[in-house]
Each structure stands twice: as C-alpha cells, then as structure tokens.
Amino acid sequence: MARTRRTPNRKKLLAAAAAVTLILLVLPHEITGRLISLTQVVVPFQDWLGRSTEAVGDGLRLDGPPVDPADWDALVRRNQALTHQITALASRYEALERERAALAGIRHRGLSGGRLVSARVLAGDASPLRDSALVNAGRLSGVRGGAAVASHYFTIERADGDDVRSGMSVLSGEAVVGFVEQVGTHSARVRLLRDTGVTLTVNIARLADGKYFPLDADFWMVGTGSSGTGLQIRDVSHRYINEGAIQVGDFVLSSPTDARLPVPLNVGVIAAIHQDAGNRLLYRLDVTPAVDYDRVRDVFVVDPVSGAS
C-alpha cells in the first residue's frame, strides 16, 4: 500500500512564524542582541555581492560597448596621447611647409635622431621661492643643463632601460613639464613651467572639424606659480581676440623654433581670456597645463643632439 506524502499546511506555517515573531518581541535585549550580532557575519558577504552586482551592471551598460574598469584609465590616457600627437604632428607639418628649403636640417635636428632619458620624480622643491622637482637622472645618464623635460604618462607601452632611442614619435604624445636647471652626477633639478622664473615661446592652434588651424605667430608664456592655472600668455594683441582667432579651448604648444625640443609639444589649453588692466589693447590668456605637475611621477629628459645608435 503506497504511502501518501503529507505537505505542510500553509496556515500552520504562517501561524508558527507569527508566534516566533511575538516571542522575539517580548524576549529581553540580552538575548535578541546576541542574535543581531550573529547576523553581522553575513553583512560583508552581502556588501561583496552588492559591489559585484554593480560592477557587472557597469560592464553591461547599454549606452556603449562594455569596458573593463581596469582598462578605463589606460583608454583615457591613450585618447589624450592621440590628441597631443595630432596637435604636435599637425604643427610640425605646418612648420615643414613654411620651411621647405630647410627640410634636411629639420630632419637632422630631431625627427629621426635624438634620445629620451627616462627618469623618476623623487621629490618636490622645499623652497617656497621655487617650483621645481628632483629627478633620479643626472650626468651619468646623459642629462644636460637646460634640457627640456616632458611627461612620461601618456605612453602606454613604455620601453625598458634608461634610454628610449629614436623615440620622437613617443615624445610627440607627451607634454612639456619644464627644463633642467641643475645637474648632478645621479640627479637633476627640473624647474617646472609654472615657476615664476620660467618663460617659453609658444604657438596657439585650434582643432575643429578634423582640421588644424594654427596661428602664424609666436607668443610669450610665463609661469605664475602654483596658484590659479599656473601658466599665462601675456601681451596678446586685441585683434586676435576681436577676430575670434584665439578662443577658450584652443591648444597651446611649444614653438617649432625651440631648439630644445625636436618636435612641438602640447603645453596646455586656454582656460580664460582677460583684458589687460594697464593696456586695453592687450589681453592675458590663462592656460591650463596638459598635465598635473604635482602628480607627475615619470618624465622624459629630452636630448635632441644624440643620434640613435
């Protein structure tokens, strides 16, 4: 004779649950407090599960292709590097067009030669009167006084060893940081662009609709210290502003005529335009640096003279 399986009565289960609830309500805190403490063991696992779910949700966003969060910073840096390269190479192209007769000399000056020395920023400047950084490369590494220093942040595939030879294409994707002021055997002091004692000849250019619009003029940029944007272009004629030739968002690059840099490098972006209080026919341009100088940890010291071996 087959045995029939008895299923629990739903009403009885509900009654039992209600009874347990009432019992817990009347129990003293000393007992219920221990039960609450036991539930805290599960909280970290719940938190982990929630974070995992959110991460999966972020990876499955419907507004674009899935991106691994670990790769996001690298993608942002690559995009910035490509932007720098576009401005630098376009500026170089314009310079070559203007200097067609001296093409061979320009190539010798850096497009196919030169050397980049990798260095690590050790410390900032303890003196409040200067804005500089100490790097761990000196005379033994081939660092020279007055050499230009560029960021080593946007380059994704970094070369091994101290030298990056034939690395001008790598350099074009970076940004100017400063210039070597003092050189020791194993280290060098780099004066940052925002230091009040630094001046730099720059060009201004605009990227719009896939086209490059440089101004055929040089401008004078100075460091203004760590307050504000830290960089400023001064004595800009009013006609550039009135005619719309210079606008907020335009790129600022080092001049192609600067012998310390074999290719024009990105300096920053125009952040604001101010009329000069002392001369209303002149303007001042605030420039936001292309990199945060306080967060730069790796740099390239540029040696445009040495040839690749």
**Going from the N-terminus, what domains does the chain have, and what CATH number goes with each?**
69-192+295-303 (2.40.10.340), 199-293 (2.40.10.350)
Residue tagged 């420039």 (tokens) = 287
State phi, psi for 91 to the nearest 5 degrees. -65, -40
Q: What is the pLDDT of residue 47?
A: 43
| Nearest residue to 168 via CA among 187, 155, 180 | 155
Q: What is the pLDDT of residue 75?
A: 76
- Burial group, residue 124, by CB count within 10 angstroms (0-12, 13-18, 19+): middle
Our CA dihedral for 259, 261, 264, 267, rounded to 10 degrees, sits at: -120
C-alpha 189/C-alpha 133 separation (Å) is 6
Handedness of CA 145, 147, 151, 157 (dihedral sign): negative
How do the pLDDT tens digits run along the chain, 309 residues long?
545 445 455 556 556 655 655 554 455 545 544 444 443 343 344 344 444 544 545 454 445 566 677 677 777 777 777 777 666 666 665 665 555 444 444 343 333 456 889 899 998 877 777 899 999 999 998 899 999 999 988 765 544 444 454 456 677 788 999 999 999 999 999 999 999 999 999 999 998 877 778 898 999 999 999 888 999 999 999 999 999 999 999 999 999 888 888 888 899 999 999 999 999 999 999 999 999 998 999 999 998 776 543
C-alpha 72/C-alpha 75 separation (Å) is 5
User: For residue 302, what are its two tokens?
Assistant: 């540029």
Determine how many CB atoms are found less than 10 A away from the CB of residue 125: 16
Dmax over CA atoms of the chain, in Å, equals 111
State phi, psi for 104 to the nearest 5 degrees. -60, -40
Phi/psi-derived region of residue 258, left when phi > 0, alpha when psi is between -120 and 50, beta in every other case: beta
Contact 151, 303 (CB under 8 A): no
Our CA dihedral for 134, 140, 141, 144, rounded to 10 degrees, sits at: 70
CA distances from 269 to 60, 158, 215 (A): 34, 26, 15
| Nearest residue to 234 via CA among 259, 183, 267, 270 | 270
